[in-house]
Chains A and B, each alone.
Chain A
Amino acid sequence: MLNLSHVGKRYGSLVAVDDLTFEANPGEIFGFLGPNGAGKTTTISMIAGLLRPDSGTIQLNGGAGPDQPHARRGVGVAPQALALYEELTGTENLTFFGKLAGLHGTVLRERVAWALDFVTLSDRQKDRVKTYSGGMKRRLNLAVAIVHDPPLLLLDEPTVGVDPQSRNAMFEKILELKSRGKTVIYTTHYMEEAERLCDRVGIIDRGKFLALDSVDNLIEEYGGKSVVTAQRRDGEVRIESSDPLQECIKLQQEGGILSLRVDRPDLERVFLNLTGRALRD
């Protein structure tokens, strides 16, 4: 579906992307997790054909590179910055981008109606985009990416600036797209999103993959042990353990426990362990 081989990109002396190699499979949500400036958007831009890699190759949907317009027909992009015509209505935006993707006539009308319904904007379809809320614009941004029914979706931080309720709704939609067989490349710096949505995650920093695997495997390999924190009358005790349940039972049996807390390793911890920095530094 998508294949990157030793892809690199530099801006002068700054290495934005360094020797990235990975493959995304059909029906998979592949996450790029990394802090701002890690190279996620640059990678997405190269996959979308906006930037030309300095080295390496990118193959879309079975061979052609993103510099070929026909290859881009199978790609839908929801850029991080909203890219919509504010003076046009929701329907007009979708119709326009649908036409550019080669849709016409009844098929176009049906796809536009479907996309509006999918992102629950049917009731506002005739309103100009400038009257939409931030969350509605985000949803329309996603609708533009899927209106032509592409097998590969590039979603670049699609939940930026979205309230928690809308974010949850967006997650549901992305999982629904996955269930329809779409391959989704998803960039984020929120580990919760990566953990919830992604089948595999590539942890990226300074343009390089530090690790690439499923969330569970990454945590197991790089997350370290769980931490059990016990509050006792004589103070706090922290114990690292690969079997936190057993540690809790043992502490309970010792007695004098006021409270117990178990911190399982997560992707934040994975990133910290890999880089020595927190994800949001």
Chain B
Amino acid sequence: MSKELLALAGKDIRLLLRDKGGAFVTFVFPLIYCVFFGLIFAVRTDSTREMQIIVVDEDRSEASAGFADLLDAAAEFTVKRTQRAAAVDAVRRGKVVAYVVLTDGFGEAMGHVLLNEQPRIEVGVDPARTAEAAMIQGLLTKYSFESIMGDLGGGDGLRRQIRAATEKLQTDTDTPPMVRLALGVFLPELERFVTDVEKASENSATADGSSAGQVGTMGAWQPIDIAMVDVFRKRTGPKNSFNISFPQGIIWGVLGCCASFGTSMVIERTSGTLSRLRVAPIGRTTILGGKALACFGSTVSLSAVLFLVGWLFFGVVPKSIAHLAVSLVAMATAFVGIMMFLSILGKTERSVSGLGWAVLLGMAMLGGGMVPQMFMPAWMQSLSHVSPVRWAILAMEGAVWRDFSTSEMLLPWAVLFSVGVAFFTVGAKGFSWQSKG
């Protein structure tokens, strides 16, 4: 690369950085956008506190139906019921957090829980969702305790009956001495058992599952046997809201670059410095190349830095660094071309700036730069195909969270490169025509 080309590009980048307004629009505003909208989308996500689960009742007993109803009524869950295969598929697709299978024999084991028989529950969850898995374990333990207590008639009532029986036993002379002796040992032990079950139940309701049942004499006793099954989720959605807001925010930075450099071409023309460049011993191609290189370098650097910030602080982890790198190059190519095109839209700074932003905002509106495409109606999503912004966002998302294969990435890349070449050709011809004496 020629030293003259680098000098031209370096000068333009220096001028951009010295223009406080331009630098803000190009570098700071996109970061604010990324974080602000990321947080807004995150709040929206967090407000859905109930975990969606699917309950599969394979036991079809009275006890399993009662337990399923208990989960259905639980505030922490939104419960759907279906068959095991559909439940597994739903978890894999990420439509629900987990499935809970009340296995065959659940009801019978529930009836013998005092004999240390444990009803078996199978929970299928994405291993990446460790927090949700632990919470579900804790909640299932809690509700199993509640179920057991319900079967026993409730803690307080049972305890009153035990105490009344114990008092009566002390004054009852009709009961044979051997029976009174046995009941004298059994009834206090029964009361202690009920108390411990209640304490364990309370504890499991607040714990993340790992500490359930570690209170009092209950020790490690668990009323149910929970078998956790890993169901690897297909990644069809973003990992978090910042995965959506960062590509969108970066687009605004790219548009800022595009507008700044497009306007700078006109400023060069109106301030006379373009004439000075043209009388310098460099060709017209070098002048255009310098401007293009500055815009390209700024766009790629800006995008890379913002992605790095997203990666380090907001969990925006690209699925493929190589895909992301090519996407950024393709996006920069497209918007360098558009910058050249914008620069010939008018003869004054004001006209180019106004018309340029009108064109760019139109592209952003259609292409999902303002509202994420997933929230757009179908007709608008179809219309968005004409906007380079759509393809730029798709290329970035494809590399970040959509997990596109290379062949899937080819279309957005091809569109972006084509847009860049086409617009640059038109812009360069217009520039030559405007400069022609």
Contact = CB atoms under 8 A, between A and B. Distances in A.
A52 B19 CA distance: 35
Given A69-B283, A100-B8, A85 B278 contact: no
A101 B7 CA distance: 11
Contacts of B18: 87-88
Given A49-B279, A85-B15, A92-B14, A99 B272 contact: no
Interface string A76-107: 01010111111110001000110111101000
A52 B14 CA distance: 32
**Chain A, interface size: which category?**
20 to 34
Interface in B262-292: 271-273, 275-283
Interface in B363-398: none
Nearest to A42: B437
A99 B281 contact: no
B273 A101 contact: no
B281 A97 contact: no
A72 B283 CA distance: 10
B280 A51 contact: no
Given A51-B437, A69-B283, A97-B280, A83 B275 contact: yes
Nearest to A84: B273
B11 interface: yes
A45 interface: yes
Nearest to B16: A87
Contacts of B275: 45, 48, 50, 79, 83
B14 A88 contact: yes
B50 interface: no
A75 interface: yes
A79 B3 CA distance: 25
B339 to A, nearest CB: 19
A69 B15 contact: no
B272 A83 contact: yes
Contacts of B436: 52
B225 interface: no
Contacts of B4: 99-100, 102
Given A48-B279, A79-B272, A100-B277, A85 B11 contact: yes
B275 to A, nearest CB: 6
A72 B437 contact: no
Interface string B423-437: 000000000000011
Interface string A165-186: 0000000000000000000000
A77 B279 contact: yes
Interface residues of B, number: 23
| Interface of B, helix, strand, loop or mixed by DSSP | helix
A70 interface: yes
A52 B283 CA distance: 15
A50 B278 contact: yes
Nearest to B272: A83
Contacts of A97: 276, 280
Contact of A101 (B14, B15, B272, B280): B280
Contacts of B8: 100
A144 interface: yes
A73 interface: yes
Interface string B10-33: 010011001100000000000000
Interface in B396-437: 436-437
A88 B15 contact: yes
A45 B437 contact: yes
Contact of B279 (A75, A81, A88): A75
Nearest to B277: A100
Nearest to A52: B437
Nearest to A66: B279
Given A69-B281, A72-B280, A82 B272 contact: yes
Contacts of A87: 14-15, 18-19
Contacts of A52: 436-437
A97 B279 CA distance: 11
Contacts of B277: 100
A77 B276 contact: yes
Contact of B273 (A46, A48, A85, A92): A85
Contacts of A81: 271-272
Contacts of B276: 77, 79, 83, 97, 144
A149 B281 CA distance: 13
Contacts of B278: 49-50
Contact of A100 (B7, B14, B437): B7
Nearest to A128: B18
A84 B276 CA distance: 9
Given A45-B437, A87-B19, A88-B15, A100 B273 contact: no
A70 B281 CA distance: 6
B11 A88 contact: yes
- Among B278, B282, B437, the most chain A Cβ lie within 10 Å of the Cβ of B437
Contacts of B279: 48-50, 72, 75, 77
Interface in A6-33: 9
Contacts of B7: 96, 99-100
A46 B275 CA distance: 12
A281 to B, nearest CB: 27
A171 to B, nearest CB: 23
A138 to B, nearest CB: 13
A85 B277 CA distance: 12
Contacts of B271: 81, 83, 86
Interface string A88-132: 100010001101111010000000000000000000000000000
Interface string A130-141: 000000000000
Interface of B: 3-4, 7-8, 11, 14-15, 18-19, 271-273, 275-283, 436-437
Given A52-B436, A81-B271, A102-B281, 15 more contacts: A45-B437, A50-B275, A50-B279, A51-B437, A69-B280, A82-B272, A83-B272, A85-B273, A88-B18, A92-B14, A100-B4, A100-B280, A100-B282, A102-B4, A104-B3
23 contacts: A9-B437, A45-B275, A46-B437, A49-B279, A50-B278, A50-B437, A52-B437, A69-B281, A69-B282, A70-B281, A73-B281, A79-B272, A79-B276, A82-B272, A85-B273, A87-B14, A87-B15, A87-B18, A88-B14, A100-B8, A100-B280, A100-B281, A104-B3
Interface of A: 9, 45-46, 48-52, 69-73, 75, 77, 79, 81-88, 92, 96-97, 99-102, 104, 144
